[in-house]
Structure 1
Amino acid sequence: MSLAVSFAANKPIVKSFWALGTDIKFKFYEQGFESALEKALKYLFWAESKMSVFNPKSEIAKLNKFGLYFPIKLSPDIYQLIEMAVEHSKMTDGYFDIAVKNLVDLWNNCRHKNQMPDKYQIEKILFSVGSENIRLLSNYRVRLKNATKIDLGGIAKGFIADKIKEIFYHHGINSAIVDLGGHILAIGKKGESLWKVGIQHPSKNRGEIIGIIEVSDTSVVTSASYERYYNIQGKKLSHIISPKTGYPVEDFISSVTVISSNSTFADAMSTALFAMGFKKAINYIQKTRLDAIVITTTREIYLTPNLKEKFICTDDSYRVISTNEVIVL
């Protein structure tokens, strides 16, 4: 996910850190943020230590290793996140799914070997995919079925952003931007003005934007494959794998951006919409009325009606279309 933030006149106080496998930036536009930042960082690093699939001591690593054999007790927050992930999976008919680690591992191995998997490998692993393989039990316990392994990468940043927002509001922070490696959380306003968040151009260098969206008290989250992808036998494949087919998503969507006051929701929905492909994504957007921006490889930008007055396109070669004007069969 990649976004750029545009700021005018007054310069913020910027604090940068490395976490969640990416650069994290906090930008404050008022004094007295130190205590809030300290608590936010403490939570962020704690959450990372519990959620990471790369840390063998994390709760998720323990769940993936032993959850097939007996229930694993988790921290309340980690349990809550898995519970929310299962709910979002049901909301999206399984297009958002955390039970995909076996698929991710397969494609990573294929990338290292520079060899495409055969369909029998995919079919075998698909048996372990799906939120129905996650059993949520009492007392914050979780058990896995069918050799399932989970990966919270598609929703963790959103959940952490929501917790950071709670911390900031509790400490009276009313004007700040948090950039969790492209996941933008806008706290309050920039003085009397709305925040201007730049949407990354899908075919240009990082930091070059295709448009600007004006927001306040919200998150702006993009899923795309222009920065992360699999390169196997000379073929460039999206890093977003469809839980339905087991293969990287192949469609003419370049990126999907979701704007929501709930960061967890925005994170899950941007991934799900990208995985759905254009037709299903537009139908889902029309049905649910969420706020989204869908950019295609055919140089079109589809905006939900609520964003029409808030979005400024900066590339005249793209055509801006309302999602309400599209009939997808």
Structure 2
Amino acid sequence: MIPFCSKPLGHVTLKVGVFYSCHLLLSLWLSGCNAPQNTTQQSFYVFGTEVQVLIVGADTQRAQQAIQAIEQRFQAFHHEWHAWEKGGIVSKINQAIANNQAIDVPDSVKTFIQTTQKLSAQTDYLFDPAIGQLINMWGFHSEEWHGPPPSDTKRQAWLSSRPSIKDIYFKHNQLFSHNPNVQLDFGGNAKGLALDIAAKTLTDAGIQNALINIGGDIKALGFKNHQAWSIGIQNPNNPKQAIAKLQAQASDSIFTSGTYQRFFDWQGQRFSHIINPNTAWPADSFASVTVIHDDAITADTAATALLVAGEQDWRRIANQLGVEAVFIIHRDGRIELTQAMQSRLIDLKN
């Protein structure tokens, strides 16, 4: 049993500034802004964001070759797993489902979908990547996000069929769907898979100590000069300052989901890109949720699911996912964290 579920209030609540919709990211926190000795650090752009790889304790040539391999794999991954650009595996799956056809998929794709099905069930389908039609209806399958929101009639029509990843099933490596309205969009947990791929690429190259950062979501490997990595959660009111500093263990995955990241304003109301599948309406419970877990796909899934779950249900969903370390910023600025997250806390700016 996770500690915060064994007590009515197994978490700590603190008050900081009011954050509204300001940008909040996880970022590398290198003490004194100095990188460790014998480091190789490179960045590149993919998934619509900056990717940073920091390697410690490996010779430069080997480190650079490993980073190049990660970049190549990420570019291919982005093409294959993009939800609405034609040509990739997800686009082909979605087309087959819409046509009521079966499609052969590789073992790796089948395994990831089955893993996601299990995790989605553990979230009571508050996280459900079969809602591509709904995301497109809200306009988040485009580079520019703008209103108006979809009508109640359109939302209710979608809810009447409620496409879900549980509608997908396999016969050997053939993928089928019970519901032709299923359209997969793995934007909510594909970065977790990508980080696992990057971590394996580094370990296969014999690299033991590194950080991989995809737009603020992080996978830690090993240590920084025999010390735990320190990860900063930036102050959304001042991105150059951090609200908190966390200690990352050797294989931690740290993910943040927030209602501030992608949104549009319409007639004085802000609409986030994170949609509750059970209401077909954007989540608005928390400003952000940060989680730590050793499995990157689980952490990625949990950050979104807990944000959708909101005040009443986030503890139950976290327990079902086996996620113990949670850091929440409420829309009114309160910070709430579990006992497991409190044990990782190095510093909190109050």
Q: TM-score, normalised by structure 2?
A: 0.83
Q: Name which structure has the greater RCO, CA cutoff 8 Å, separation 6+.
A: 2
Confirm or deny that 1:295 pairs with 2:295. no
The one-letter code of the counterpart of 2:305 is: A
Q: Is the 8 A contact 1:26 1:179 kept in 2?
A: yes
Paired residue for 1:204?
237
Q: 1:3 to 1:161 in 2, by over 3 A?
A: same
Q: Of the candidates 292, 298, 305, which is equivalent to residue 272 of structure 1?
A: 305
Confirm or deny that 1:262 pairs with 2:295. yes
Paired residue for 1:89?
120
Cα distance, 1:158 vs structure 2 = 0.2
Confirm or deny that 1:19 pairs with 2:46. yes
Q: TM-score, normalised by structure 1?
A: 0.88
Q: Tell me how far apart the structure 2 counterparts of residues 46 and 113 of structure 1 sit (CA, whole Å).
A: 29
Cα distance, 1:219 vs structure 2 = 1.0
Task: Describe how 1:46-65 pairs up with structure 2 within 5 A.
Answer: 46-65=76-95
Confirm or deny that 1:155 pairs with 2:186. no
Q: Tell me how far apart the structure 1 counterparts of residues 72 and 140 of structure 2 sit (CA, whole Å).
A: 34
Q: Tell me how far apart the structure 2 counterparts of residues 282 and 18 of structure 1 sit (CA, whole Å).
A: 35
Q: Of the candidates 152, 163, 166, which is equivalent to residue 119 of structure 1?
A: 152
Cα distance, 1:239 vs structure 2 = 1.4
1:138-176: CA deviations, max 9, x gaps? 125344623211101001000111121122112221111
Paired residue for 1:7?
30
Q: Tell me how far apart the structure 1 counterparts of residues 174 and 239 of structure 2 sit (CA, whole Å).
A: 41
Q: Paired residues, what number?
A: 314
Q: Tell me how far apart the structure 2 counterparts of residues 257 and 112 of structure 1 sit (CA, whole Å).
A: 24
Q: Tell me how far apart the structure 2 counterparts of residues 105 and 97 of structure 1 sit (CA, whole Å).
A: 15
Q: Tell me how far apart the structure 2 counterparts of residues 176 and 66 of structure 1 sit (CA, whole Å).
A: 40
Q: 1:28 to 1:299 in 2, by over 3 A?
A: same
Which segments of 5 or more consecutive residues in structure 1 lack a partner in the other structure?
Answer: 317-329
Cα distance, 1:306 vs structure 2 = 1.9
Q: Secondary structure at the residue paired with 1:268?
A: helix
Q: Secondary structure at the residue paired with 1:257?
A: strand
Q: Tell me how far apart the structure 2 counterparts of residues 39 and 144 of structure 1 sit (CA, whole Å).
A: 38
Which deviates more, 283-292 or 117-126?
283-292
Paired residue for 1:79?
110
Q: Secondary structure at the residue paired with 2:281?
A: coil
Q: Of the candidates 73, 77, 81, which is equivalent to residue 43 of structure 1?
A: 73
Which deviates more, 92-101 or 108-117?
108-117
1:161-202: CA deviations, max 9, x gaps? 11211221122211111111111111111011110001133x
Q: Tell me how far apart the structure 2 counterparts of residues 22 and 289 of structure 1 sit (CA, whole Å).
A: 26
Confirm or deny that 1:106 pairs with 2:137. yes
Q: Secondary structure at the residue paired with 1:129?
A: coil
Percent identity for Structure 1 against Structure 2: 24
Cα distance, 1:124 vs structure 2 = 1.0
Paired residue for 1:221?
255
Confirm or deny that 1:230 pairs with 2:260. no
Q: 1:289 to 1:86 in 2, by over 3 A?
A: closer
Q: Tell me how far apart the structure 1 counterparts of residues 265 and 174 of structure 2 sit (CA, whole Å).
A: 39
Paired residue for 1:169?
203
